[in-house]
A and B are shown apart, each in its own frame.
Chain A
Amino acid sequence: EAAVTQSPRNKVAVTGGKVTLSCNQTNNHNNMYWYRQDTGHGLRLIHYSYGAGSTEKGDIPDGYKASRPSQENFSLILELATPSQTSVYFCASGTGFSDYTFGSGTRLLVI
């Protein structure tokens, strides 16, 4: 069954440390997305990708980097984590503007 798998499910990081969130999809979708979800803000787009080797800035990219080494994998990197980046992060895959398939989320706590 086609799916989007995120790892880790939960992460506790220290302020100033590096954090990498991973996402793998078996949908063979060209597009992949990273969102963060915070109460009162819904989902906000951080970075997205149209295919292997491409990354694009979303609406709130500051403090985040992204990497798309292959069709299946899309990573979100926090080089210097801050407490304001404590959130739930969702990865999704899709084709163009069409329906997305979401992962189950990564809950990140930065202390």
Chain B
Amino acid sequence: GEQVEQRPPHLSVREGDSAIIICTYTDSATAYFSWYKQEAGAGLQLLMSVLSNVDRKEEQGLTVLLNKKDKRLSLNLTAAHPGDSAVYFCAASHYNQGKLIFGQGTKLSIKP
């Protein structure tokens, strides 16, 4: 079945810098990708989602890139601020499967 690998597990960047999180997946039939943010003690909150026919999507300081050839998905946070400190998860699914497979998570810390 589908496997999603996420890296790095921990990431520390200075306030105002960019942070990049990468996920790779195994199944070329994967059709839907999403990124979630989890703040301390809380559930997961959807940040952005893309279908497999989209290569790039930007929203509110976040950029998602999808490279289907390399089966790689990335999340780029530009100009990080303290409120971005959280654990980030990527997730993937197929059209005909009503379930998301999650990556292992990346704990992002923003240094002042």
Contacts and interface: CB of A to CB of B under 8 A. Distances in A.
A61 interface: no
Contacts of A103: 43
Interface stretch (B57-65, B77-85, B101-109): B101-109
Nearest to B49: A99
Interface string A49-80: 01000000011000000000000000000000
B3 to A, nearest CB: 11
B53 interface: no
B45 interface: yes
B44 A90 contact: yes
Given A41-B104, A42-B89, A99-B34, A104 B42 contact: yes
A50 B104 contact: no
Contact of A102 (B45, B94, B99, B104): B45
Secondary structure of the B contact surface, majority rule: loop
13 contacts: A31-B98, A33-B100, A40-B9, A40-B104, A42-B102, A42-B103, A42-B104, A43-B102, A50-B98, A92-B44, A97-B100, A99-B49, A102-B44
B23 to A, nearest CB: 11
Interface string B66-95: 000000000000000000000001000111
B6 interface: yes
A96 B50 CA distance: 15
A98 B45 CA distance: 13
A40 B42 CA distance: 18
Contacts of B44: 43, 90, 92, 100, 102
A44 B31 CA distance: 20
B34 to A, nearest CB: 6
Interface string B36-62: 100001111110010000000000000
Contacts of B104: 40-42
A45 interface: yes
B9 to A, nearest CB: 8
Contacts of B43: 4, 90, 92, 102-105
A35 B89 CA distance: 14
